[in-house]
Amino acid sequence: MSATTTTTKLLERVKDLKQIPTIPAVLAPLLRYLEQPVEDLDIQKVTDVIAQDKALAAQCLRMANSPLFGRFQKIDSLRTAILGLGFQRVSDIAMSCGVLNLTPKDTGGIDPVVFWEHSLGCALVCRHFARTISYPDPRKAYLAGLLHDLGIVVNLWSFPEEFRRVFERARSQRIPLHEAEQAVLGFTHCDSGSLLAENWDLSADLHAVVSLHHCSYESSEHAPLIAVVELADLLCRMSGLNYGYLENRQVNVLEQPGFAVLLQKFPALRDFDWARLTFELDSYMDEVHGLVHAIYRK
């Protein structure tokens, strides 16, 4: 069987997959609502949306009462949690809870906790990076970072055995995961993620991030957002917020395609302190570990 035929058959398995993860019911309207300018967002509306999912509401309350977020007095309602922690923090918890439970039990060798730590770490770095260079929508950058690796979730559901070989190859050779996917599967999580983004009816810019963050995207109308994710993803993979192994490569951020894309639109990037951002990654570690372990390791 030729490589092309094998790839076609594997992609058909993705399209026909009955167990393909569906976006949590409350997450779709929440995503759409967050598309609005921040000044138009209403705390009660967010409270009402989250309250529709009792498990998610309970999780948010539990997290809001956690010392992880500096809360030592009892919070007994979602609205109080939102008022106490702030809209952004509660939205982060809701979004994270919504996607962190999508991973199947058989994860093909990759630790789901490590995987989601990478995704959440990437989200935090995306938002911080976006604010620093004056990217106009740091909230969208956060969502893009959180969701960029959805294709890995698809591959875990669709090809647990094949993905185990992918991960073993990536870890043993210390190469990027998408390169191992291309070698073993004939396609990457960008390809399978594109199918899931379409299935979930994600917005065009988020769809582009999921589909193109390891591809040639300079001509895309969403190139700046993809570039933010590309650089944040790379920084996380080179730090302790990776997939459980360090890649054996030297990286110069200034030579990445994303740097050139962003430099055209955001001159502040020219004076960006990359060493400081790398150092600040350490400050995210405890927050990411605490949040993911609290949500995923029940």
Cβ-based neighbour number of residue 272 at 10 Å: 19
Residues 30 and 172 in one domain: no
How far apart CA 123 and CA 129 sit, in angstroms, is 10
Please choose, from the candidates 243, 249, 251, 250, the residue with its C-alpha nearest in 3D space to the C-alpha of residue 171. Answer: 243
pLDDT tens digit sequence for 124-162: 889 888 988 899 988 889 889 989 999 988 888 888 888
Same domain, 182 and 211: yes
The encoded tokens of residue 46 equal 């967010």
- Please indicate, yes or no, whether residues 17 and 85 belong to a single structural domain of this protein: no
Is the separation of the CB atoms in 33 and 50 below 8 Å? no
Residues 156 and 224 in one domain: yes
Q: Considering 101, 123, 145, which residue would you say is the last residue of a domain? A: 101
Q: Do 260 and 180 have their domain in common?
A: yes
Specify burial of residue 47 (Cβ count, 10 A radius: 0-12, 13-18, 19+): buried
Residues 16, 158, single domain; the answer is yes
Task: Verify that 28 and 16 share a domain, yes or no.
Answer: no
Asked if 218 and 291 sit in the same domain, the reply is yes
Say if residue 240 is in the same domain as residue 203: yes
Last residue of a domain, one of 51, 77, 101: 101
Domains of the chain: total: 2
| 135 & 173 share domain | yes
Radius of gyration of the chain (CA): 19
pLDDT at 108: 57
Whether 130 and 205 share a structural domain: yes
Gap between the Cα atoms of 116 and 293, Å rounded: 10
Helix (H, G, I), strand (E, B) or coil at 248: coil
Q: Distance (Å, rounded) from C-alpha 82 to C-alpha 226?
A: 30
Per-residue pLDDT of the chain (298 residues; tens, 9 = 90+): 455 665 676 667 666 655 566 666 777 777 677 667 767 888 888 888 888 887 777 777 877 776 656 555 677 888 887 776 676 676 677 777 667 667 776 665 677 778 888 888 898 889 888 988 899 988 889 889 989 999 988 888 888 888 899 999 999 999 999 999 999 988 999 998 888 888 778 889 999 999 999 998 988 999 999 999 999 999 899 888 899 899 998 888 888 999 999 998 998 788 888 888 777 777 777 777 777 766 655 4
pLDDT in tens, 69-88: 655 567 788 888 777 667 66
CATH of the domain at 228: 1.10.3210.10
pTM over 0.85: no
Q: Domain check: are 150 and 268 in the same one?
A: yes
Range of the domain at 61: 23-101
Q: Which of 51, 79, 101 is the last residue of a domain?
A: 101
